[in-house]
């Protein structure tokens, strides 16, 4: 009929971005080549070996800039849906990258010897005011935790379960970033 049916109930949408992996120039459109010259060679290792450290860094920085841009588009889209839905966005990188420090490139070293910049990654959260209210979130508490704490991917699973109020024996509230920052409603 050409009409769209209004969705009811809860929805979770998972997007997997290619992000800042290997052939960096393939991860952003030409219109987003802010840092130049950027490495535009193909081949996971052979491409990087044909570029200078500055070109590799510029290409990587372009991926970061494009990711920021893409996330801003998602937040804008979610903001437009606020009248119909309580919206939220949680973004986390899977790993960091080495860009030539100590002769290392890319990622994938054993965790025990990997440098911190391969292990410490961004976690970005955005919530509509209605989502904050529905979930009884105390944003000041979350900001304080973010400034004081050190978290890992181990927290992600439990935090998603917690904020979505999923009941399972797999859930560990001690690993839920939101657990202590939700007002208890009696």
DSSP code per residue over 159-184? HHHHHTT---TT--GGG-TTGGGBPP
pTM of the full predicted structure? 0.85
Q: Percentage helix, strand, coil, to 5, in the chain? A: 40, 10, 50
Spatial neighbors of 43 by CB under 8 A, at least 6 apart, are 23
Mean pLDDT score of the chain: 88
pLDDT at 48: 75
| Alpha-carbon span 177 to 152, nearest angstrom | 10
| Alpha-carbon span 172 to 124, nearest angstrom | 21
pLDDT at 1: 43
Confidence label for 2 from pLDDT (cuts 50, 70 and 90): very low
């Amino acid at each position: 009929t050409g009409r769209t049916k209004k969705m009811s109930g809860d929805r979770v949408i998972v997007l997997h971005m290619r992000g800042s992996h290997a052939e960096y120039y393939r991860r952003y459109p030409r219109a987003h080549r802010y840092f130049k010259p950027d490495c535009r060679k193909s081949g996971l290792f052979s491409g990087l070996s044909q570029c200078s450290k500055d070109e590799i860094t510029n290409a990587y920085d372009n991926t970061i800039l494009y990711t920021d841009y893409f996330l801003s588009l998602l937040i804008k889209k979610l903001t437009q849906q606020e009248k119909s839905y309580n919206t939220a966005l949680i973004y986390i990188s899977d790993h960091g990258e080495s860009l030539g420090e100590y002769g290392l490139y890319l990622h994938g070293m054993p965790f025990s010897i990997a440098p911190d910049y391969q292990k410490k990654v961004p976690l970005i959260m955005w919530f509509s005011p209605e989502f904050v209210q529905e979930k009884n979130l105390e944003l000041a508490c979350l900001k304080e935790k973010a400034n004081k704490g050190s978290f890992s991917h181990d927290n992600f699973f439990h935090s998603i379960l917690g904020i979505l109020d999923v009941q399972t024996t797999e859930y560990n509230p001690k690993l839920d970033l939101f657990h202590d920052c939700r007002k208890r409603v009696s």
